[in-house]
Structure 1
Amino acid sequence: MKVLLIQPPIEDFYCTSIRLYPLGLCSIAAAISDLCEVAILDAAEHHKPRKLSEHPFPELKNFYQPHLRSPLSLFSKYYRFGLTDEQIKKAIAEYRPTVVGISALFSAYMALSIHMAELVKKVNADIVTIVGGLHPTLSPESVLASPDVDYVIRGEGETPMATFIENLASSKKMILSDIPGLCYQENGNNKINPPSVETDINRLPSHRLLPPKSYLMYGKSYSFFLASRGCPYRCQFCGKAPFPYRQRTLGSIEEELHVHAQRGIEVLDFEDDMLTFDVRFFHDILAMLKKFEFNICAMNGLSPSHLNAQNLKLMLEAGFHKINVSVVELSSSILKSQSRCHYGSFFELLPCLEHESVTVEVHFIIGLPRQSVDHILDLILFLAQKKVLLGPSMFYPVPGSALWSDNEVPFKYCRSSIMYPAYFSRLTIITFMRLIRFINFCKNLVDKLHQNLLLSELLGSAHLFMTPEIYHIITHLCKQKRFLVWDKKDQDFREESCVLEIMDRFFQMLKHKVIRGYKTNHQLKVDL
């Protein structure tokens, strides 16, 4: 029996390719490798994006236009990141699988996952299609509504998939409802099982099914890594399934580290929901990492409430070169209303990192309930003065979260690029995002120039290291407090829409403050 596991393409205004390593499919493959022949078709990663002529969001056409150019604009074109339909069908036909498992991690891209099932059935209607991932776990009925989807797996898929494959090959068939996490239709009715939770999480994923050189981060081969599963917290805005927190054994972690070293992996990205939750466990992992020579980052799961000077020191010694910290918000009352643990004294620890080469990226959310315009501006300007990169996330309701109500939002809107107007207007959110891009633009300039400057001095010489268009856009913003954009079609500048009150308030609050680099200790003093 042959099983093909597919990661679907993505269609969006942008895609962070380094977030697409199909670790979940590697784990499924490991669970069934003794039962069948298995392969992974990554139809999203390491494929040149193709511009699509249309996108399904007409309300964004006034904001995202392909002929407009500015270093502070957000998006312009809509892409397909991954293989074409014909390439996918050809790969399926050549492999000739009995079963195809399809990943559906994100609600925003659910339609593409279902479309993969449609392509499978076009190749051969007898191929069994199974869809699993976060979205089917939270909303199995929406996936089973497709006539091309035979089964859905809710929860962690290793045991359900292995049991299903074993049952398919056996002459003695199980009752389908006895397979953990399996959902299906029977006589027009949905049969929904509760999500499956793995009791043994120490099996090593089948990374061997992926070519190392096809997954690059900063030009180096990388892999995702999990030391634990589940999260002990239930933040109101989070749509993660409520799986219990579980740790792998240190022995299995070290074994997988050796596998990556042998494969030539240079960068490890820890994707735990809460890597620092158990401090002793975290310290054991850091001590183990010192035996290797990986560059390490954690783009997920570093809670500031669990970081201290000792942890930071050990992280640097272990090989961390980038630290992504999720503070969500500075207001303790808003954090409490979202059931989020407080960030504590994390920013008091930043001086410990000032003379280190490590990059600190601070993630926060724009558009939460109870946030005000001044809340967001205070947060942006506070971070502008720190040696950190600003990493904003736009709030949108997601299935499974406490802020989601059924049928409130079409699934396709559950993505950052839409700037969903939940508690702020879309124009307010876009204004904030452009201002944040301006702050990060200035931080990058300060680091490149390697000197302390006044903003007036910078603008006086900026034409020496900026294109004429960018120079005019930045100068106009600093002096007139308005966004400009270069219109390629008309070969002229024009103002971009924004919330004028926010612009005026931002520059009023910014005056006489500094914008600090995120890689160096140099700073830009605002004197305009």
Structure 2
Amino acid sequence: MNNQIKEKKRILLISPPFYRLMGSHFNGLNLGLSYIAAVLQQQGHEVRIYNADYLDTDSYLNQREIFQHYGAYKEALNDLNHPIWEEVSDAIKAFSPDVVGISVYTAAIKSSKNIARMIKAVNEKILVIVGGPHPTLDAEGTLQCQDFDLAIRGEGEENFLELLSGKETQSILGLSYRKGTKIIHNPDRPFIENLDSIPLPSRDLFWNNGQGLKKLDLGYILTGRGCPFCCTFCASPAIWKRKTRFRSVESVLREIEMVLKDNPTTIIYFVDDTFTLKKDRAKEICRQIIERGYNFKWKCDTRADCLDEELVKLMKWAGCICAKIGVESGSERIIKQIKKNATKEVMMRAARLIKAAGISLTVYLMAGFPGETDADLRETIEFAKELQADYYSLSVLAPYYGTEIYEEVKDKLDKEHWEYFFHQSGDMILNDGLSLAVVDEFLKLNETVSKGARI
């Protein structure tokens, strides 16, 4: 990460509005932008991160309410006179950047296009770079938007630096760009092997045009990148090629100390796809947290087959208050079909271990798989109740570009409107074999648990 900068730039990294368009918000840390900001700042650039999905509140919409606000989302997304777009435009004018980077996931593609249009209206010379999951998977389609100048595919730390150092675009791996009427895709960039070589993500560069950020959640930590599994509904295999890399335990502990120093009451969220993928490593992190006397609460995502009794007990002693496991379905037929590679027996055992340790259990569930019937979804509902989770994270299938399921159902999809591809979208219930009554019963699962159980 030692590219010499050509000249100092003013760079604004934007997380586009999404949940705010439906009356909710997302106050979490965008780690992708925070890592890039740290790398750019280290090289002398003036960098700010703008989370346009932030609101200074603790209230939020639950998943069923998001379904109910879907119409409002569509309306706000397509109404450029909506106050949120004026707010974004004002922020761009106030910072007056030379370069803007936009983090784009599939559902935020239209929102990102709106922002790029505003940027060019402010100053057409501002360089607009997009990155994130959607440009990585569909750079060709992404660059059909003329307001996007360049697309970074895959990890963005090295690409961004090389761009700002003045390196020729045709020589930058992992970059897509226009040359005349053609879109050029340079070869993929190899993954960064040594994650410890990247500076820790910046948490002091968030800037919302003078607004307070009292509710910004800075406690997100990523201890590794990638996932080795091949679930058919997940884009991770296409993005990470089923390759995993891990930071050293010492690097993780250093980031924990940094977060707690400035935010002692923060609940840390280890946002790895599977925090306990390497069980011995997870145990060592827990042991070090205990031995060093860190006193904080934390949560993580994991898999049922990546837990054992010793690990779960260590997690509890180290301050874990919530473990989230992907179950997806209660139908053995569907579990096999989506290549979950775990049985209901294994899932039940993991749930019992978590509950017995006194850790709150969140279960991820999904409806709308190809060929799923009302009977299958009722099996999911009944199995969910047997698991006795404290919270159910409920979704409908969104067949993202690059997933195995996308290839299976792509002829049914409206690929002109990627902005409707998200897990609480009314347009994503593609399965004619499911009745809306059973889907609604599924979406009411959290009414069976105590209020306030979500962590």
Corresponding position: 1:4 with 2:4:
no
Q: Contact (CA 8 Å) 1:397, 1:409: kept in 2 or not? A: no
Shift of 1:322: 1.3
Counterpart position of 2:414: 409
Counterpart position of 1:181: 174
Q: Contact (CA 8 Å) 1:27, 1:205: kept in 2 or not? A: yes
Identify the match of residue 25 of structure 1 among 6, 17, 33: 33
Counterpart position of 1:250: 249
Bigger Cα displacement from structure 2, 248-257 vs 187-196: 187-196
Task: Measure the CA separation in 1 of the matches of 2:356 and 2:274.
Answer: 27
Helix, strand or coil at the partner of 1:155: coil
CA, structure 1 residues 231+225, in 2 after alignment: closer, same or farther (shift >3 Å)?
A: same
Shift of 1:163: 0.9
Shift of 1:41: 1.3
Corresponding position: 1:75 with 2:68:
yes
CA, structure 1 residues 331+206, in 2 after alignment: closer, same or farther (shift >3 Å)?
A: same
Counterpart position of 1:38: 47
Counterpart position of 1:335: 335
Shift of 1:87: 2.2
CA, structure 1 residues 176+442, in 2 after alignment: closer, same or farther (shift >3 Å)?
A: closer
Counterpart position of 2:165: 166
The unaligned stretches of length 5 or more in structure 2 are 1-8, 59-63
CA, structure 1 residues 337+312, in 2 after alignment: closer, same or farther (shift >3 Å)?
A: same
Q: Deviations over 1:499-524 (max 9, x none)?
A: xxxxxxxxxxxxxxxxxxx79xxxxx
CA, structure 1 residues 86+72, in 2 after alignment: closer, same or farther (shift >3 Å)?
A: closer
Helix, strand or coil at the partner of 1:324: strand
Q: Contact (CA 8 Å) 1:234, 1:242: kept in 2 or not? A: no
Counterpart position of 2:429: 421
Q: Contact (CA 8 Å) 2:16, 2:52: kept in 1 or not? A: yes
Counterpart position of 1:224: 220
RMSD across aligned C-alpha pairs, in angstroms?
A: 2.9
Aligned AA for 1:28? Answer: I
CA, structure 1 residues 146+353, in 2 after alignment: closer, same or farther (shift >3 Å)?
A: closer
| TM-score normalised by the chain length of structure 2 | 0.82
**Percent same amino acid among aligned pairs?**
24
Task: Measure the CA separation in 2 of the matches of 1:7 and 1:439.
Answer: 31
Shift of 1:269: 0.9
Counterpart position of 2:280: 280
Listed as ranges, the matches of 1:143-222 within 5 Å are 143-167=142-166, 174-196=167-189, 197-202=191-196, 203=198, 204-210=200-206, 214=213, 216=215, 221-222=217-218
Task: Measure the CA separation in 2 of the matches of 1:135 and 1:40.
Answer: 20
Helix, strand or coil at the partner of 1:294: coil
CA, structure 1 residues 90+48, in 2 after alignment: closer, same or farther (shift >3 Å)?
A: farther
Counterpart position of 2:360: 359
Shift of 1:206: 1.0
Aligned AA for 2:119? Answer: V
Task: Measure the CA separation in 2 of the matches of 1:386 and 1:27.
Answer: 37
Q: Contact (CA 8 Å) 1:228, 1:248: kept in 2 or not? A: yes
| TM-score normalised by the chain length of structure 1 | 0.72
Bigger Cα displacement from structure 2, 36-45 vs 196-205: 196-205
Q: Contact (CA 8 Å) 2:331, 2:379: kept in 1 or not? A: no
Bigger Cα displacement from structure 2, 316-325 vs 376-385: 376-385
Q: Deviations over 1:334-392 (max 9, x none)?
A: 33332222145231344445465532111122111343322221221232244313322
Q: Contact (CA 8 Å) 2:330, 2:381: kept in 1 or not? A: no
Aligned AA for 2:384? Answer: L
CA, structure 1 residues 36+248, in 2 after alignment: closer, same or farther (shift >3 Å)?
A: same
Counterpart position of 1:55: none
CA, structure 1 residues 306+400, in 2 after alignment: closer, same or farther (shift >3 Å)?
A: same
Shift of 1:228: 0.4
Task: Measure the CA separation in 1 of the matches of 2:66 and 2:175.
Answer: 44
Shift of 1:418: 2.0
Corresponding position: 1:137 with 2:136:
yes
CA, structure 1 residues 178+414, in 2 after alignment: closer, same or farther (shift >3 Å)?
A: same
CA, structure 1 residues 363+206, in 2 after alignment: closer, same or farther (shift >3 Å)?
A: same
Shift of 1:437: 4.6
Aligned AA for 2:440? Answer: R
Corresponding position: 1:443 with 2:442:
no
Task: Measure the CA separation in 1 of the matches of 2:311 and 2:188.
Answer: 35
Shift of 1:123: 0.9
Q: Contact (CA 8 Å) 1:14, 1:75: kept in 2 or not? A: no
Helix, strand or coil at the partner of 1:46: coil
Task: Measure the CA separation in 2 of the matches of 1:36 and 1:309.
Answer: 48
The unaligned stretches of length 5 or more in structure 1 are 50-70, 168-173, 449-517, 520-528
Q: Deviations over 1:172-223 (max 9, x none)?
A: xx33121121111002110112443223322211112138983748xxx542
Helix, strand or coil at the partner of 1:41: strand
Helix, strand or coil at the partner of 2:315: helix
CA, structure 1 residues 353+306, in 2 after alignment: closer, same or farther (shift >3 Å)?
A: closer
Shift of 1:156: 0.6
> Relative contact order (C-alpha < 8 Å, sep 6+): which is higher?
2
Counterpart position of 1:320: 320
CA, structure 1 residues 211+39, in 2 after alignment: closer, same or farther (shift >3 Å)?
A: closer
Aligned AA for 2:429? Answer: P
Q: Deviations over 1:479-504 (max 9, x none)?
A: xxxxxxxxxxxxxxxxxxxxxxxxxx
Aligned AA for 1:317? Answer: W
Bigger Cα displacement from structure 2, 331-340 vs 246-255: 331-340
CA, structure 1 residues 321+48, in 2 after alignment: closer, same or farther (shift >3 Å)?
A: closer
Higher alpha-carbon Rg:
1
Q: Contact (CA 8 Å) 1:239, 1:398: kept in 2 or not? A: yes
Q: How many residues align?
A: 412
Shift of 1:137: 0.4
